[in-house]
Copies of this chain bind each other. A is one copy, B any other.
Amino acid sequence: MEKVGQPDPSGEDERLSRLFRALSDATRRSLLSRLTLGPAKVTDLARPFRMSLPAVSKHLKILEDAGLVSRAVRGRVHRLSLSGEPLRQVEIWLDPFRSYWEATFAGLRRDLSAHPPRAERRRPRGRRLDSGRNGD
C-alpha cells in the first residue's frame, strides 16, 4: 500500500493525483481526443466549445501541468500536441487491478479475457483513435 503516514507533497502520488484530476473533466478529455488527430493551436481547440477562450486556455494549462500535452510556441501561435506518456502511467497504476475486474467478468469479454492478468497487454486490433465521446 501507499504511504499513509507522511503527506509526501510533489511525490509520485501527487503526480498521479494531478493526472487523474486532469482526466476528470469531460472538456479536457475531449481536448485530448481531439489531439489524437494531430497537434492544434489553441483557437482551433477552443472552437467546438461553448465556453470562453480563457476557459479553454486554463484547461490546456491543466493538461500541460499533468504532462498530457506539450506546447510549442511559434510566433503568437501555441501549438499543442498530445504526450501520451502519462497515460501509460495510468495504465501502469491500473495494472494490479486488471486481474480483479477480469475475474469478475471472466469469459464474458472475449477480447479482454484473452489476455493473462498482469501481463503486458496487446492492443486489440482495429481500435480507432477516437474516444467517441463528446463533440468529436
On whether the beta carbons of B2 and A119 are closer than 8 Å, the reply is no
Instruction: Please state if A44 and B124 are interface contacts (CB–CB under 8 Å).
Output: no
User: A96 to B4, Cβ gap below 8 A?
Assistant: no
Total copies of the chain: 2
In the complex, are the beta carbons of A44 and B135 less than 8 A apart?
yes
A17 with B13: CB separation less than 8 A:
no
Cβ contact within 8 Å between B17 and A20: no
Residue on B with the closest CB to A23? B20
Interface residues of A (CB under 8 A from B): 1-5, 12-14, 16-21, 23-27, 29-30, 32-34, 36-41, 43-44, 47-51, 55, 77, 82-85, 87-88, 90-91, 93-105, 112, 114-120, 123-124, 127-131, 133-136
